[in-house]
Amino acid sequence: MEVLHQETIKHIAIQIKTAIDTITSSNSADVSEIYHQLTTPPHLEMGHLAFPAFPLSKLLKKSPVQIAQTLASTITKSQFIEEIRPVGPYVNFFLNLKNVSPELILQINQGDFFKKTLIQNTEKIMIEYSQPNTHKILHVGHMRNLCLGNSLVRLNRYLGHQVIASTYPGDVGTHVAKCLWYLKYINKEALPTQNHGDWLGKIYVLASQAVEDQKDTEEESSTKQKLTEILRQLEEKKGEFYELWITTRQWSLDLFNRTYAWADVTFDRWYFESEVDSDSLKRVNQLKEGGLFIESQGAIGMDLSADNLGFCIVIKSDGTGMYSTKDIELAYRKFLEFGIDKSIYVVDNRQEFHFKQVFKVLEKIGFEHAKDCHHLQYDFVELPTGAMSSRSGNIIPLTDLTNQMEETIKSNFLNKYIGNWSDQEIQLTAHIIADGAIKYGMLKMDPNRKIVFIMDEWLKLDGDTGPYLQYVCARIHSMLEKYHFNANAPGDFALLNEPSEQALILKLMQFNTIIVQAAALNKPSLLCTFLYELAKIFNNFYAECPIGKADNPKMQLMRLHLSQATAKAIKTGLELLGIKTPVRM
């Protein structure tokens, strides 16, 4: 539950409560409810905050318009409330910003604002995300999951939850067997000197193509036998294919680690499919003894047809397990190992049915935490040329992409600083911008909507992009430096009187409320929208309120305070999206 963390809004909510209680001669109005009902009017000329009267209509047996009028005349002005105005079915409030802003801006600039208690009950949550398969290509599509999971970890930690970030790479299965088979029997290509993981991904494409091509040919059955043999060796953990698996798996893991380092993502716990594989079979075999599963056409599983979830196989007729079998084991481990309250799986929407089945099986076998498992879905990433497919070559491997982005950024904006900035700074800045462009582009879209990745659009310095927000921050920093801003110099907040200054203060006030919403709804997109709006409001202020040519030094000082607060809010907001801000760009 959200705490009433915004002092000014809480103050107004209390005034409204008192007024309602006076009108009803009772003590029944709920401050928290009122706090959450307060909204922003469409234009600042109409008011700074609005309270809708229609929910009271039933209780008071009057029209919302009448209620708004009565409330407006009952509520008294205060240190924070300058004017109260009924507007149709709303009561609109004009804040006394000269009394609101000192506390707000100083709290932001000193950092306390970002350390407030925002919710009542914190939990221990595991967020599992970025679970690519080893031996396959890591491509731009994988970044959506990575960015989403990473931001959710950060948002939840900001709220005070204890978050365990975990990953679960798919390092066993037929895809691995195909790849090893190809390497041993078909491949003629020499091993590259570096980036083995990327190379392996390309080999996998060739491998699955080769297996496909053998369909209905003489070789088909012998290849099948070989694949079975490979899988057997992997299960027994010995033999030449097991050795080859160890080596090649590490190539993929090196690639994952390189990507995670690039994106500044870390995991507290790595689970592997190979790690839960045999235990998962043991567990379902035990459950089978207990009579919890039934046999169907040689396979063992659970009939979920009453829940419209078909038959969930957990042991195949050859005695091996399934993807779902491993997920049953994994769910237990997560709760047992960490004593978590909630387990979130960030996985694309193609696996909706799979998770419904797994969670249902968990429920039926009496796993008490089945209800605490949540599949957080998201939709796909496409290229302008259509859906990504490794077979048709319509795919961008991640390493190629990050290299290409960094190069583009250098040639578009940073190469002009060669000689002036160190090469190291240029490279680091290009990296931060590329990372920001990808993360922002992946996060600004609602998780339920498709994304089309267009590199040049995402890199634009003007518009709704990561680099734009980074640029606004960098520009503010250089301005603070240029005017030798002294954060400790005493100032008069009453000077911040222009509409665009007020608009900025009011927007900053909403920061924490947006974070609470974005985390509660698992939608970092709400934060993206907020930061973009904040940056636009800042730009308005910057255009309308001179800083270098301010009327007097006091005015300049206050505008610099406000600018710094904006930069801090954008920087903190971006951090919650996993995005860094370069000092200059």
- Where do contacts with ligand ARG occur on this chain (CB under 6 A)? 128, 131-133, 168, 170, 327, 330, 345, 347
Closest to ligand ARG by CB, 207 vs 558, is 207
Q: Which is nearer to ligand ARG, 346 or 442 (CB)?
A: 346
Q: How far is the CB of 164 from ligand ARG (least distance, A)?
A: 14
Residue showing the smallest CB distance to ligand ARG in the complex: 170
**Among residues 128 and 501, whose Cβ is nearest to ligand ARG?**
128
**Smallest distance, ligand ARG to C-beta of residue 382, A:** 18
For residue 488, which of 422, 391, 384, 561 has the smallest C-alpha distance?
561
* Residue nearer to ligand ARG on the CB measure, 378 or 485: 378
Segment holding 52, helix H or strand E? strand 49-52
| Least distance to ligand ARG, CB of residue 344, Å | 11
| CB contact at 8 A, 151 and 524 | yes
Question: How do strand 299-303 and strand 294-296 relate by DSSP bridges?
Answer: antiparallel
- Residue pair 314/295 in contact (Cβ under 8 Å)? The answer is no
Partners of 9 in beta bridges: none
Q: Which two tokens stand for residue 96?
A: 């006394």
C-beta of residue 179 within 8 angstroms of C-beta of residue 150: no
Give me the least distance between CB of 128 and ligand ARG, in Å please: 6
Least gap, CB of 495 to ligand ARG (angstroms): 55
Residue count of the chain: 585
User: In this structure, are residues 133 and 205 in contact, taking their beta carbons and an 8 Å threshold?
Assistant: no
Nearer to ligand ARG, 168 or 471 (CB): 168
Minimum distance from residue 505 beta carbon to ligand ARG (Å)? 44
Report, in Å, the least distance between residue 302 CB and ligand ARG.
Answer: 18
Q: Please identify, using beta-carbon distances, which residue of 89 and 173 lies nearer to ligand ARG.
A: 173
The CA distance from 324 to 331, in Å, is 11
Q: Which stretches of 76-210 are assigned E, i.e. beta strand?
A: 81-87, 90-95, 124-128, 162-167
CB of 528 to ligand ARG, least distance (A): 25
User: Is there a contact between 76 and 91 (Cβ–Cβ < 8 Å)?
Assistant: no
* Spatial strand order in the sheet of 90-95: 49-52, 90-95, 81-87
- In the complex with ligand ARG, the residue whose CB is nearer, 96 or 131, is 131
Least distance (Å) from ligand ARG to the CB of residue 333? 11
What b/e sequence results for 152-189 when a residue is b if at least 16 CB atoms lie within 10 Å of its CB, and e otherwise? Answer: bbbbbbbbbbebbbbbbbbbbbebbbbbbbbbeeeeee
What kind and span of H or E run contains 315? Answer: strand 311-315
Q: CA-CA distance, 376 to 51, in Å (whole number)?
A: 34
Q: Which is nearer to ligand ARG, 241 or 345 (CB)?
A: 345
In angstroms, what is the minimal distance from the CB of 377 to ligand ARG? 11
Query: Nearer Cβ to ligand ARG, position 131 or 151?
Result: 131
Q: Is 507 exposed, middle or buried (0-12, 13-18, 19+ CB in 10 A)?
A: buried
Q: Give the number of other Cβ atoms within 10 Å of residue 241's Cβ.
A: 22
- Sequence-distant (6+) residues with CB within 8 A of 121 are 1
Which residue's CB is nearer to ligand ARG, number 149 or number 441?
149
